[in-house]
């Protein structure tokens, strides 16, 4: 498998034919018809049985959405049992045998991608896995969605190659494209990149400026890093306070009505 496999989606080229959706459903053995939508489903059309979908913008453009396979994925960092893993090759994959169904990954994803099988009694988290198994075993040379695209609106290659291609397209037709590669820097970079003639900031929960360019796992790690010190510190503090107060109480004559004060 190539290094950091990436997908470049070119919104200007997408005709919205949904070939990618059909191909994705086929290779991942998903039912052709989605389950009935739940109240409060997201507007991007992704469901537990539809791992990529085409969002149609009022401007007439079509934008394909799927898991971004972040370079430093929030979902992987928050999973308490490591059911979501970023493989050494790059795709973010899911191991149901570890999952306990806490759905923290769904909360932590800045793009709101993971979906849940709400009507199942044995539910899984479902999302694009970048055709990981078939790619790794060499059965296919590019993900099914990329292969199915009739317009080369979505292409596949190493991340460096895709970034170079994105830059080449933007520089080649600066009138057609906005000079920004979505996914190059957002939340530390993603493996699914977008070039477009329209603003794509709606693809995340928040404006990219607010999402920031630093990886999200750093935010929790900043707090978690302190945990061992807090743990030991609190233990030492409590033992110390007890020792001081206990000693003071033992030395005090018994007639006192108010035991030692709580200053340390």
| CB nearer other proteins, residue 151 or residue 168 | 151
Kindly tell me which residue out of 5, 110, 157, 183 binds other proteins, with binding defined by CB under 8 A: 110
Quick check: 212 binds other proteins (CB under 8 A)? Answer: yes
* 43-47 CB contacts, 8 Å cutoff, 24+ apart: 44/112, 46/113, 46/115, 46/127, 47/115
Report the Cα–Cα distance between both ends of the chain, in Å, rounded: 61
List the interface residues with other proteins, window 154-173 (CB under 8 A).
none
- Which of these ranges, 3-11, 36-44, 128-136, 173-181, lies near other proteins under the rule CB under 8 A? 36-44
Distance CA 111, CA 205 (A): 6
Residue closest to 187 by CA, chosen among 199, 163, 167, 204: 204
- Which of these ranges, 167-175, 176-184, 188-196, 206-214, lies near other proteins under the rule CB under 8 A? 206-214
- Which of these ranges, 1-9, 86-94, 117-125, 165-173, lies near other proteins under the rule CB under 8 A? 117-125
List the interface residues with other proteins, window 213-252 (CB under 8 A).
216-217, 219-224, 227, 230-231, 234-235, 238-239, 241-242, 245-246, 249
CB 79 within 8 A of CB 101: no
DSSP class of 197: S
Kindly tell me which residue out of 2, 17, 136, 140 binds other proteins, with binding defined by CB under 8 A: 17
What are the residues facing 195 on neighbouring strands? 10
By rule CB under 8 A, what string of x and - marks binding of each residue 63-102 to other proteins? -----------x--xxxxxxx--------------xxxxx
- Residues near 119 by beta carbon (within 8 Å), at least 6 away in sequence: 35
């Amino acid at each position: 498998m190539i290094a950091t496999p990436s997908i470049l989606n070119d919104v200007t080229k997408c005709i919205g034919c949904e070939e990618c959706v059909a191909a994705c459903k086929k290779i991942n053995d998903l039912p052709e018809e989605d389950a009935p939508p739940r109240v409060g489903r997201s507007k991007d059309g992704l469901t537990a049985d539809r791992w990529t979908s085409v969002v149609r913008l009022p401007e007439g453009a079509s934008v394909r959405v799927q898991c971004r396979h972040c370079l430093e994925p929030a979902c992987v960092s928050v999973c308490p049992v490591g059911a979501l893993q970023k493989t050494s090759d790059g795709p973010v994959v899911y191991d149901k045998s570890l999952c306990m169904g806490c759905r923290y990954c769904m909360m932590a994803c800045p793009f709101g991608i993971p979906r849940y099988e709400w009507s199942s009694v044995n539910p899984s988290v479902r999302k694009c896995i970048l055709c990981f198994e078939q790619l790794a075993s060499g059965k296919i040379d590019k993900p099914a969605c990329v292969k199915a695209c009739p317009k080369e609106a979505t292409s596949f290659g190493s991340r460096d190659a895709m970034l170079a291609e994105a830059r080449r397209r933007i520089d080649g037709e600066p009138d057609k494209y906005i000079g920004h590669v979505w996914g190059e820097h957002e939340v530390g970079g993603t493996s699914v990149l977008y070039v477009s003639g329209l603003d794509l900031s709606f693809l995340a929960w928040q404006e990219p400026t607010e999402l920031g360019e630093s990886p999200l796992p750093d935010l929790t790690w900043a707090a978690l890093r302190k945990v061992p010190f807090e743990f030991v510190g609190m233990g030492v503090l409590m033992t110390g306070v007890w020792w001081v107060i206990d000693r003071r109480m033992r030395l005090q004559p018994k007639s006192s009505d108010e035991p030692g004060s709580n200053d340390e």
